[in-house]
Each structure stands twice: as C-alpha cells, then as structure tokens.
Structure 1
Amino acid sequence: MILLHGFPDVWSGWHYQIPELAAAGFRVLAPNQRGYGRTDKPKGVAAYDIDQLAADVIALADSENASTFHLVGHDWGGLIAWRVAALFPERVRRLLILNAPHPGAFQGYLLRHPSQLCRSWYIGFFQCPWLPEAVLSARNYALLFRAVRSTSQPGVFDESDRRQFVSAWSQPGALAAMLNYYRAVVRRSPASLKRSVPVPTRILFGRQDPAEEPGLAEVSLQFCSQGSIRWIDEGAHWIQREAAETVTAEIIQTCSS
C-alpha cells in the first residue's frame, strides 16, 4: 500500500494510519514526494509534470518488487493517485482518494462554479515567479502554516507539527519544488488530463473543506467506471487527521475486499 501526501504536507501526515494499516497486514510505503523534505529537487517546472510524478510512484513500487498495490492519496497526492490509476490501471488494485478532485474535472468545475474559483485563487498566485516563495517563507513560514491551520478543524495542528513542517519546507529548493506542482499542471491541456480510471475507486471527502467544494468529488465520479463516495461530515480538508479512525477503517475495508 502506497500513501501519497499532499501540499504542503510530508510523509508523516499519515502517522495515524501507518501503524493501523501495518497491523492489518499491509506493507505500507509513505514517501516524501519529489521535491519535499530531503528528496531530490530537480530544476525546472517540467520536472514536476503530473506524469513524471505518477512515474515516481511506479518506480517506488518497482523498487519493492510490487507488481500491484493499493494506492491512497490526499490533496496533491490524490491528484497524482488519480493519474497513476489512469495511466497504469493494471498496477493499482484499489484506489482511495481523500479530498482531491480528478485532475480532468477541476478546470471545468471552476468555470461552472465561481465560488470554487474564489476558493482556488492561490493557484493563480502560485504561477508568479519567486514572489510566492518569498511570501510563503516570510517570518519562518508563518503564512503557509496559517493556511494549513485555516483549512483544518480546530486543534488538529499544533506547535510540534509546525516545527516538523518548517524543517521540511526550509530545505534548499523545497518550497520552489512544491509550488512547481501547481505551475506544471496549468501548462497541461485540460484534454490531456481527462483519462478515465477503470480501477475500483473510493472517494473520501470532508464536507467542511474550506478549500474544495463537495461538488468536486461528485463530478470526479464521472471519470470512474467503479467509483463511490464516503462523506466525512465532520471533516474539513485534513480528514486523515481530523477523522483518523473513520478514514483508517475505510482504507482497510476497501483494500481488504
């Protein structure tokens, strides 16, 4: 089982799930994705194209001699997970997506729903050169951590989380690499992202997410031949932390069937 974190998280965002999944008998891999923490940080936006990020997941599975695997992704990790399952469906046994739209669904939804466009304003800001890096890293990454806390339920993130994040974000080149995910994906034609997913798919979505509307989950089902949604009523954006027991149980049940 491979767990993919999102922006601006790191591998340890799955710390509630990892021991429980291992106890349930799964071999669990939870990597820092390309550019995060101490991972390699290749130069240039093209190095963070979503197809390259998907290829990283396959390379990780190959390194473990895993011909097939279960795949779980949150936020940007969810977008990459969608892409892996679309490009390499023979490799993915079960797909679980946490608060992340299918990449082919996002732009069309934005055009039809101005309210989501307002929530996603930061994607446009991230396209600027150097300025987002300067703003987000100012005052020891205060604004970036504030964004994390503002998209979660109260009390989910504390000072120990902030220290761990800042340690990862402050690695040389890390913040630019993290933002390059957003810069690379807007360079893709929308049509190139619309490939459907034949893998059995379970979407878990927090209804209280201030960054993503529930409609994004619903429209993503159009790209699944075998898809369903589990709503997490009490969850905001970080449901693997906010509703850890529920999310873990869903993963185990889905991947054990």
Structure 2
Amino acid sequence: MTELSISTAAGVFDAIAAGPPEGRPVLLLHGFPQTGLAWQRQIAALAAHGYRVVAPDQRGYSPGVRPERPEDYRISVLVEDVVAITEELGWASFDLVGHDWGGAVAWWTADAHPGRVRTLTVVSTPHPGALATTLRTDPDQRERSHYMIDWRETPATEERMLAGDAKALRAAYAGKIPQDSVEAYVRHLSQPGALTAALNWYRAGRPDGAIGVIDVPTLYVWSTEDSAFGPVAAQETGQWVNGPYRFETLPGVSHWVPEEAPETLSRLLLEHLRAHGEYGTTGTAGTQANTPSVDSPKR
C-alpha cells in the first residue's frame, strides 16, 4: 500500500492505495471513528485481484480538509468530495464501497451520480430512506440511534470521549478492532480539532433534499450484532433498490465488519464486483442474487 495526497478545490485528502494504476477503480469510504486504515484487509484483497483501490481519509479526518463549521459537513458536500476525489484520480466511473458514515455517503452518491457509480457496496448502514422510515415506526431503531442526538453536544462529547487517555473513545470499538488500529485511530482523533471535525458529521443537520431508490447493482452487508442498526431497517433497505440487489447477513458479527470479518467481507465484495463487471459499460447489470429488488417509487 502507498500513501496518496489528493488535491481538490476543498483541500488535500490523505489516502492509502494499492493495485495497478490501470486496474478497475474502487473507492472505499470509512466511517466514524476511523480512517481509511479500516479497509486495509479489503485493499490488499482487491489489489491482489488487479483492482486499483483507494481509501481516502474523508472530510474532517484529513487535516488538509478540516473546516470548523458543522454546516460544512452536510451530506451534499460529502458527496461533492467523492466526485472531486474521483475526478482528480481520473476515474470516469468506479465501484463504490462504504461503511458506517461512509455507507451513508455511498448511498447518496449512488443516488446523485448513478452514471458514474458502476456498483455500490454498503456495509452496516441501511439506505437513508429505510432508516428514516424505521425511525418513525420502530422503537428499537429509535433507541439504537439515540447516540446520534447525544453526540451533537459540543464540546461536551469531545471532552468525554478523550478523557482518561480516550477511555470512552477506545470503548466504542468494543474490543472488535485490532489494538494497533485502535491506537492509530486514537492518535489520529486526538489531534487538535480532529474529533470535533469527525463529530461535525452528526451536527451538520438534515440532508438538503430527499434520496430516491438506487438503480445501480447493490450489495448490502448487515451483521446481527450491530448495535447501531437493527434488523427492521436492514430488511427495509431492499425496498429502496431497483437495481440488482444482494442482501447478506453476517451472524454473530458486530458493527465493525471490515475488521472483524475481513475475509468474509472481501469475498462478498469480490463476488459482487465480478458479477457486475460490465455494468456502466454496456448498460446491463448481471443477475440478481439473494434478495429480490422491489419496484419502489421515489420517496
């Protein structure tokens, strides 16, 4: 793996990359509270099969793109970052993968730019429309999502998470992430302004508009021990994908799928990419697997 600096109008994004420059491009988006390092096992697996893989540290996580205002972390701005990064890399189309907040950005990007996203893979995070529906109807999901309200406190949340050698921040990883990665994340988020920037994703306010159904081939991976996203939202996600859709459940795995179940996730990802290798080139999209897609109106 190599380190990259990706210059955009918003600033310079740090990234890690691997694979031949001419390989089929794949962009990996991390979540909170992590960096592109979260994808190191998937980067290695994809690069070994000839893919060109880039995992940026997203807005706020990259010191070169760390605005102070919460409104500078709106979902539309985060989608613009994806477009700017891929344009700087020279990628006319690409496969998009996201986990946690990176998954939310991936859903919105696939909705806004279906002609550029060859395939979509989202880990843990339900489709935003499915999550919104479930928050209205499912008390369990409302309870799971309450932390998002708590974390909007500032600077109380930062002080609480970093107190006592970042005891609360370390606890968030629930012992499911390799210790060397935990130390790297804690060091990174202990930099001045870094944790506030990461929490600004929660403080940015509601999206600018509504998201629709997704038409590109989509793999959604959810784990049964995910503390943030429950089964109702996971099952509802299929109602929001019109393209070929595959839904995979990982029993006994927590929220931290890329690092807790790296081999399984890499296998599923490779299968998904291979199944839809011609999508975006011919306009057709392989066979549908596992869970039927449902024709749903835009909501």
The TM tier, using the shorter chain, reads over 0.9
Report SS of the residue matched to 2:228. coil
Alignment match of 2:52 (pick from 27, 30, 37):
27
Contact residue 5 and residue 32 of structure 1 kept, 8 A = yes
Deviations 1:120-165 (A, max 9, x none): 111111222311111112112210110121xxxx5x3243223201
Distance 1:22 1:159 in 2: 24
In the alignment, structure 1 residue 213 sits paired with structure 2 residue 230: yes
Q: Per-residue CA shift, 1:29-85, capped at 9, x if unaligned?
A: 001111015342112111100111011111111111110000000010000000100
Shifted more, 228-237 versus 26-35: the winner is 228-237
In 1: Cα distance, 2:226 partner to 2:272 partner: 23
RMSD: 1.5
1:85-116 residue CA offsets vs partner (Å, 9 max, x unmatched): 00000000010000001122223211211111
State the match for 2:199 in structure 1. 179
Task: Give yes or no for contact 2:111–2:211 (8 Å, CA) kept in 1.
Answer: no
Question: Residue 135 of structure 1 aligns to a residue in which SS?
Answer: helix
Tell me, yes or no, if structure 1 residue 105 matches structure 2 residue 130.
yes
- Give distance in 2, aligned partners of 1:193 and 1:136: 32
Matched, 1:138 2:163: yes
Look up the match of 1:242: 260
Task: Give identity over the alignment, percent.
Answer: 35
Structure 2: unaligned runs, 5 residues or longer: 1-25, 276-299
For residue 5 of structure 2, what is the aligned residue in structure 1?
none
Aligned to 2:32: 7
1:119 aligned to which of 128, 144, 147: 144
CA distance in 2, matches of 1:199, 1:177: 31
TM-score normalised by length of structure 1: 0.92
Bigger Rg over Cα? 2
Amino acid at match of 2:265: V
Alignment of 1:35-114 (within 5 A): 35-114=60-139
1:127 and 1:215 map into 2 onto residues whose CA distance is 25
Q: Which structure shows the higher helix fraction?
A: 1
More strand by share: 2
Q: Please give the alpha-carbon distance, in whole angstroms, between the structure 2 residues aligned to 1:9 and 1:206.
A: 18
Provide the rounded CA distance (Å) in 1 between the counterparts of 2:164 and 2:62: 19
Is 104-113 or 11-20 further displaced after alignment? 104-113
Mean Cα displacement is larger for which, 217-226 or 91-100? 217-226
Equivalent residues, number: 249
1:169 to 186, 189, 199: 189
- Which shifted more, 91-100 or 130-139? 130-139
Report the TM-score, using the length of structure 2 for normalisation. 0.80
* Partner-residue secondary structure (3-state), 1:146: helix
- One-letter amino acid of the counterpart of residue 251, structure 2: D
